[in-house]
Every structure is written in structure tokens, then in C-alpha cells.
């Protein structure tokens, strides 16, 4: 087996690595604040349904293309579609999307490292306004955000150059269990606070009066982003799967892990927030502005506990960001490695240098280079908008249309059933979902994000 196709060494490694790709800030940051804004338990209930009917079929589709192509995402789509087919450009879109996300995502990951350091140095003190000013001053700084962006990208680079088994799989086996341990410790501490029961009820007692079209569309969108659909990650990792890997079973297992982390993140945050009377709908500022103040208030009687938990929380965020960064980096590394016929180290160096450049400009656009904007958006918000609200939905939609209507049914069924060695009971339901349900849902998400639906 060539270096590029050096697959995962174990089933556990495969599941943890692919779950690590999906588990990221979308679970620990985006999911809790969206749950808070969209009514708590009822949002979670709809979200789980969306995972079943949208997330898993889309993930299996990328698995099929990735394993069949046995190469980087761009080449995998080309192999399945044929060299002269326009469908091959969907694969190139996935690579481009992954590359751009890596750049600005590393900036946010760097913020997590800064907050872990700031927690250890006891710098996150004062009232809500003081912490808000801390974040504003830090994010607008010309040096520190860039410094932390470089640090986390260099760490990611170190993992990637050691290959699939020696780097990605080995790191996943260390990082994912550590992430779960940190998560569980903070969940237990949060749920033991006075008044925490209100936060637990918010998460698990659905209020159906809060259901509206926005809740459905937000849940659809979150399920899509949470599983890293259309970023090239799932397809690239699937290229390292063996012919014996049960694609549907793997997708279900990964989705369960991903959803469990998201729900535990809610249990980690909302009981503590409710215990000190903080509104659950604090929005995107929840992690970097609201929560440091929550940790101070919730554990004011035991400041040492609050101090340790704050460090653990931002270490957890950093790990979640890192596992996703590794998979995003691998998308582009595999592309340059195979298309330019260079060593993995050289390919990784190109990606690290390129994404660091993107990250630097995105970071500076929030401060000293704020005048550098496009259509009234900073580079950071522009990259976030273009990739998250245009590239991802378009890529996911086209993948479903491609696999559901243009790829030969026999090829899809052979991959789904491992060439007839697995039962095909659910194949009809899967194909129906990919042909009809998923494209319509993704189209609804896309139009909703653009304000057209």
C-alpha cells in the first residue's frame, strides 16, 4: 500500500479519527448557543431527527465517494464521475472549502488557546463588561491572535506530517478520550450547582410552543455543519477506509458520538448559566464573554474549583478545535501530496504556510487591518460567510444530486453493502433520502441563510 493510501490501523482509530473530524467548535460552541436561542429541548429533538434523516445519509454518500475513489477528495470525485465530467469540480470545491475554513478556523482555535492561558494566569476576572473588553482588546490585537493561530497550526502540522496511522490516528486515540474526560468532569461539576436543575430542564423538557420554521431550519443547518459535511474531511478520511468497513454503521456510530458531545456541551454550559441567572440565549458571545463570568459567579464559594474548571473548559475547546483542524488540514495535504507528486512533509508545509497566511489576514481584519473589507464584511466574516453559507450547502446539495441521480446505482449499492457481504435492507431508504429528502432540506437551509426563505 502506498504512503498516500496508508489506511487506519484499527476500527477504533477509524471511528475516533472520523468522529474527531466532526467533533469541533460546532459542537461545543455553536450547538449550545443555538440551543439557547432556539428553545432548548425542542431544538435538540428536531436536531436529532435532522441527524437521522439528513446527516447520516450525507455522510454515507461522502464515504462511498471517498472509499471508491481511494484518493484525495478532488481526485475521488473525478474517478467516480469520469475525467471529462463537470461533476469532478464538486471535489475541487470540497478541497477549496476545507483550505479556506482551515485558515479562519485556526484563528478561533487560537482564541481558545489564549483563553486557556488567560484562565491559568487568572486574567479572566471582573464583571461582564470587563470580560467583554478583554475579548475585544485581544481579538483586535495585531500580535497575540496571530501568535496563537501559528502555534495551533504548527501543532496540527506536526500531527499531519506523521501520516495517517502515526499522526492522525495516534493523535485521535489520545485527544478524543481526553476530550470526553474533560467534558464529563465539567458536566458533573455544572450539574451539581444550586439551581442547575433549571438548566437540565431547559435541555430535556421540550416546549413545543417555541417551534417555528426558524427552529427547523437552524436544526437542519446545525446537523449539516456539525458532521463536517461538504468540507472534504469525510471524503478524505473515507479514502483510508478498508473494503471491510461498514459505511452505514460507521456513520451511525460517528453521528452518535458527535451528538453526544453536543448534548453534553449543553449540560456543561446551561446548568451553570441558569444557576447564576444568565440568559440561555446569549448567542455567539456565550463562550468567550458570558461563560468566564459564569465560572466566577457559579463557583464564587470555591474559587479554586472555578479556576480549575475554567482551565479545563478552554483546554476542552482547544482539543475540539484541534481535532477538526487536523482533518481539515489533511484534506488539502492529501490533495497537494497526490496531485503534485511531492512528499507528505512538503505538501503539509504548503498547506500550513497557505492557511497561516489566510489566518493572519483574517485575524488582522478584526483589528489593525479592519479597513480591509469586502462588501462591508471583514475578511474573517467574509470567509465565514462564503464557506459556511454558500460553499458548504452548495457542495452538499451537489453531492446528493450526483450520487443519487448520476452515479450508477450498482456502484452505490456495491459500496453500501460491501459488495454484497452486508444486508441491503436499508439501501432503498438511503437512496430515497439522498435523492429527495437531503437535496430539499439542504436547499431550504441555503435559501434560509441567504434570507430568501
Residue 6 lies in a domain: no
CA distance 220 to 47: 7
Model pLDDT for residues 138-186, shown as the tens digit of each residue? 988 989 999 999 999 999 999 999 999 999 999 999 999 999 999 999 9
Residue 386 lies in a domain: yes
Residue 2 lies in a domain: no
- Look at residue 4 and tell me whether its pLDDT is greater than 50: no
Residue 110 lies in a domain: yes
Residue 145 lies in a domain: yes
CA distance 451 to 453: 6
CA distance 374 to 245: 45
Nearest to 70, CA basis, from 80, 82, 60, 61: 80
**Cell 464538486, residue?**
90
- Look at residue 441 and tell me whether its pLDDT is greater than 80: yes
State phi, psi for 373 to the nearest 5 degrees.
Answer: -135, 165
CA distance 116 to 114: 5
Element (H, E) at 50: helix 41-50
Domains in the chain: how many in total? 1
Residue 312 lies in a domain: yes
CA distance 162 to 239: 17
Query: What's the CA dihedral at 162, 165, 166, 170 to 10 degrees?
Result: 120
Residues 6+ apart with CB under 8 A from 135: 285, 288, 289
Residue 95 lies in a domain: yes
- Look at residue 208 and tell me whether its pLDDT is greater than 60: yes
Give the pLDDT of residue 144.
Answer: 95
Q: Buried (b) or exposed (e) across 228-242, using 16+ Cβ within 10 A?
A: bbbbbbbbbbbbbbe
pTM: 0.93
Give the pLDDT of residue 389.
Answer: 83
Range of the domain at 116: 11-450
* Confidence label for 107 from pLDDT (cuts 50, 70 and 90): very high
Residue 410 lies in a domain: yes
153 neighbors 356 (Cβ within 8 angstroms):
yes
Q: Is 377 helix (H, G, I), strand (E, B) or coil?
A: strand
Model pLDDT for residues 342-372, shown as the tens digit of each residue? 999 999 999 999 999 999 999 999 887 776 6
Which CATH number characterizes residue 381's domain? 1.10.4160
Instruction: Count CB neighbours of 349 within 10 A.
Output: 17
Element (H, E) at 152: helix 144-161
Mean local confidence (pLDDT), 327-336 = 97
* Confidence label for 118 from pLDDT (cuts 50, 70 and 90): very high
Q: Is 378 helix (H, G, I), strand (E, B) or coil?
A: strand
- Look at residue 276 and tell me whether its pLDDT is greater than 90: no
Amino acid at each position: 500500500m502506498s504512503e498516500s493510501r496508508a489506511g487506519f490501523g484499527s476500527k477504533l482509530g477509524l471511528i475516533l479519527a472520523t468522529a474527531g473530524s466532526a467533533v469541533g467548535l460546532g459542537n461545543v460552541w455553536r450547538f449550545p448557543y443555538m440551543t439557547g436561542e432556539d428553545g432548548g429541548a425542542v431544538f435538540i429533538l428536531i436536531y436529532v431527527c435532522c441527524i437521522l434523516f439528513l446527516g447520516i445519509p450525507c455522510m454515507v454518500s461522502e464515504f462511498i465517494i471517498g472509499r471508491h475513489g481511494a484518493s484525495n477528495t478532488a481526485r475521488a470525485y473525478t474517478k467516480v464521475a469520469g475525467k471529462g465530467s463537470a461533476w469532478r469540480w464538486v471535489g475541487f470545491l470540497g478541497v477549496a472549502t476545507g483550505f479556506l475554513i482551515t485558515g479562519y478556523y485556526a484563528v478561533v482555535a487560537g482564541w481558545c488557546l489564549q483563553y486557556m492561558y488567560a484562565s491559568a494566569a487568572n486574567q479572566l476576572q471582573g464583571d461582564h463588561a470587563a470580560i467583554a473588553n478583554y475579548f475585544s482588546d485581544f481579538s483586535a490585537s495585531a500580535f497575540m491572535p496571530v501568535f496563537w493561530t501559528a502555534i495551533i497550526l504548527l501543532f496540527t502540522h506536526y500531527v499531519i506530517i506523521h501520516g495517517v496511522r502515526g499522526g492522525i490516528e495516534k493523535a485521535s486515540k489520545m485527544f478524543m478520550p481526553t476530550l470526553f474526560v474533560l467534558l464529563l468532569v465539567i458536566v458533573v461539576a455544572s450539574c451539581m450547582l444550586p439551581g442547575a436543575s433549571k438548566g437540565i430542564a431547559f435541555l430535556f423538557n421540550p416546549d413545543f410552543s417555541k417551534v417555528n420554521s426558524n427552529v427547523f431550519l437552524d436544526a437542519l443547518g446545525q446537523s449539516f455543519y456539525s458532521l463536517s459535511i461538504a468540507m472534504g474531511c469525510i471524503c478524505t478520511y473515507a479514502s483510508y477506509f478498508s473494503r471491510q468497513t461498514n459505511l452505514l454503521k460507521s456513520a451511525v456510530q460517528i453521528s452518535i458520538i458527535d451528538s453526544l458531545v453536543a448534548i453534553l456541551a449543553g449540560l456543561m454550559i446551561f446548568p451553570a448559566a441558569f444557576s447564576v441567572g444568565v440568559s440561555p440565549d446569549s448567542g455567539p458571545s456565550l463562550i468567550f464573554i458570558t461563560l468566564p463570568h459564569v465560572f466566577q459567579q457559579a463557583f464564587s464559594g470555591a474559587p479554586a474549583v472555578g479556576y480549575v474548571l475554567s482551565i479545563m473548559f478552554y483546554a476542552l475547546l482547544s482539543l475540539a478545535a484541534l481535532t477538526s483542524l487536523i482533518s481539515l488540514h489533511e484534506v488539502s495535504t492529501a490533495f497537494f501530496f497526490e496531485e503534485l507528486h511531492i512528499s507528505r512533509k512538503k505538501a503539509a508545509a504548503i498547506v500550513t504556510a497557505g492557511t497561516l497566511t489566510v489566518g493572519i489576514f483574517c485575524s488582522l481584519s478584526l483589528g489593525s487591518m479592519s479597513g480591509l473589507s469586502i462588501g462591508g464584511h471583514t475578511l474573517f466574516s467574509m470567509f465565514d460567510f462564503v464557506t459556511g453559507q454558500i460553499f458548504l450547502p452548495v457542495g452538499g446539495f451537489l453531492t446528493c444530486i450526483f450520487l443519487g441521480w448520476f452515479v450508477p446505482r450498482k456502484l452505490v449499492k456495491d459500496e453500501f453493502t460491501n459488495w454484497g457481504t452486508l444486508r441491503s435492507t436499508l439501501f432503498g431508504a438511503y437512496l430515497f433520502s439522498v435523492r429527495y429528502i437531503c437535496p430539499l432540506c439542504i436547499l431550504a437551509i441555503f435559501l434560509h441563510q441567504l434570507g430568501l426563505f
